Structure 1
Amino acid sequence: MVTGPRDLGVGGDELDQLIVRQRDYFAARGEAVEWKTRGHDRPADLTDRLRAAGFVPEKQETVLIGLAKEVATPPVLPGGVALRQVTADADMHRIAAMQSAVWGQDFSWLGDDLIGRVSAAPDAIAVMVAEADGEVVCAAWLVFYPGTEFAALWGGSTLPAWQGRGIYRSLVAARAELATARGAKFLQVDASDDSAPILRRLGFRAVTTTTPYVWSPSHR
């Protein structure tokens, strides 16, 4: 993933060259890359230049901020569902399989990504699953940003048969408890249209939007 400050400090040809350098770095590795843009980014023509370099926009999301302490309420789960924090490689692959089932796409890369992040910086990420009869029905993770008062909520996909039963909301609450225990004051979420209403009801407020621009070898 590529991300940066609100103003990259370059424009015109310099910005084009910056974009191409990032794209070509991942192209040489045979990997896709996501450039995360936000609604307040500068320069204003950043997204036009990303498109010109072969990046394709995905669905816009809403960036929401909430107070961790206010969200850290006891989770309320449906019968037969339990939450668990996980670190084992096998659990990360189970999460990837669940994501693949939810979205109908190959998310096998996610297992390796989570394994790598937990291995490299175990104190910077907390991965949680909701399980029923030994099956992962939802998974989400909490990412800490040392030196700031923020932690970020990621994931939250739920198997269709288990949607609408409070599991996503329970994982938000459980992660908020972890964030509060670690001294994080604020929670940040890049929310889909499905999860944004739930988060707003929990007190989160919208501050901007974000749109991923993705380049992959298949876009050539």
Structure 2
Amino acid sequence: MTDSDTKARLLAAYDQQLRTDAETPSALAVKELGPLRLVKFLGGRGFITYQDLAGADEQGIRGLVEAAVSHFEGQPAITKVEWKTRGHDHAPGLHEALIANGFTEDDPESIMIGEARALSTAVALPHGVALREVTDEADVRAMSAMQDEVFGEPVSDEMADALLHRLSLDDGMQLWVAEADDQIVSAGRLEPVPGTAFAGIWGGATRAEWRGKGIYRALTARRAQAALEMEKTLIHSDSTEFSRPILERSGLLKVSTTTPYRWARS
């Protein structure tokens, strides 16, 4: 099978298995609007996704965007919304409609998919660095704060609260960190997707001074091993340009792109 055939097979699995309720396991509420799924999360976050746009033309897509914004404008508790686009979708005029309705475009990320066993090989860690799964509140808050710092965001309780809520659901999500001298230097989570062959690896972050030492690769391998223990055979991730090359070296393939568009209540 050629790389092109493999990418087509993996992308089809992604569209069929992941672009469903499986995409939003921690949603507080989901409303269907035509092909759209309008999702409410903790912390006043809204999210818009879909399996496809049902063949809508430019005018139809503009109407969907306007209706989605109207829905969230009518919910004062929602302060920000993400519309998740995919590069392989047929979506005429979507970018223009989103910009016209107050969304701003983020940087695109690569949709990476591959076999869990390709990532699960042993990776040597630098001396003094160890991996462990975290579940205690103090550890989760320390992990979340480190990720905020690495991503250049103000340290906040929002993500930590969401992760602690997820852990309380006992839905299989795992949080993993790498530590050196009692400091978290890298972190990421594993999210098995019920009813599918997939587990997602998310939130990968490594402090700048610890990059290039194989720590993120080791953390990825350990999460892949945990996925296999759950009988998940495929790994998926939306990757920045920092993590994409690492995942490619581990055998994952870039099958498409995803670009978030963000709306904030004025």
| RMSD of Structure 2 on Structure 1 (CA) | 1.8
Among 117, 122, 128, the residue aligned to 2:176: 128
Q: For 1:31, give the aligned amino acid.
A: T
Alpha-carbon contact 2:189-2:201 (below 8 Å) kept: yes
Amino acid at match of 1:183: E
> In the alignment, which residue of structure 1 is the partner of 2:92?
44
For the residue of structure 1 that corresponds to 2:248, the secondary structure is helix
Deviation at 1:12, TM superposition (A): 4.1
Secondary structure of the structure 1 residue equivalent to 2:174: strand
Aligned to 2:64: 15
Alpha-carbon separation, structure 2, partners of 1:76 and 1:23:
47
Residue 18 of structure 1 deviates from its aligned partner by 3.3
Distance in 2 (CA, whole Å) between partners of 1:110 and 1:9 is 35
Q: Which TM-score applies when normalising by structure 1?
A: 0.91
Q: Which one of 215, 218, 237 corresponds to residue 167 of structure 1?
A: 215
- Give, as a single letter, the amino acid of the residue that structure 1 aligns with 2:92: A
In structure 1, the partner of 2:230 is 182
The CA distance in 2 between the partners of 1:87 and 1:51, in whole Å, is 40
User: 1:6, 1:40 within 8 Å by CA — same for their partners in 2?
Assistant: no
- How far apart in 1 are the matches of 2:142 and 2:54? 38
Report what 1:77 is aligned to: 125
The structure 2 residue matched to 1:88, chosen from 136, 148, 157, is 136
Gap change, CA 1:205 and 1:29, over 3 Å in 2: same
Shift of 1:75: 3.4
Find the aligned partners of 1:177 and 1:82 in 2 and give their Cα distance.
16
Q: Counterpart of 2:144 in 1: which secondary structure?
A: helix
Q: Which residue of 1 aligns with 2:203?
A: 155
Contact residue 23 and residue 215 of structure 1 kept, 8 A: no
Q: Which residue of 2 aligns with 1:53?
A: 101
Equivalent positions of 1:198-213 (< 5 A) are: 198-213=246-261
The change in CA–CA distance for 1:190 and 1:22 in structure 2 (over 3 A counts) is farther
Same amino acid, percent of matched pairs: 41
* Counterpart secondary structure, 1:193: coil
Contact 1:19–1:53 under 8 Å retained in 2: no
Task: State the shift of 1:107 in Å.
Answer: 4.1
Q: Which residue of 1 aligns with 2:49?
A: 3
Q: Is the 8 A contact 2:110 2:258 kept in 1?
A: yes
The corresponding residue for 2:243 is: 195
What code does the residue aligned with 2:219 have?
Answer: L
Moved beyond 6 Å, runs of 4+: none
- Residue 13 (structure 1) shift: 5.1
What letter is aligned with 1:141?
R
Unaligned runs of 5+ in 1: none
Deviation sequence 1:77-111 (CA, Å, 0-9, x none): 11111111111121121012112321332142211
What displacement does 1:202 show? Answer: 0.7
Structure 1 window deviating more from structure 2 (132-141 vs 108-117): it is: 108-117
2:23 aligned partner: none
Larger RCO, structure (CA 8 Å, separation 6 or more): 1
Aligned to 2:159: 110
Count of matched residue pairs: 216
Structure 2 spans left out of the alignment, 5+ residues: 1-46
Match of 2:32 in 1: none
Matched, 1:119 2:168: yes
TM-score with structure 2 length normalisation? 0.76
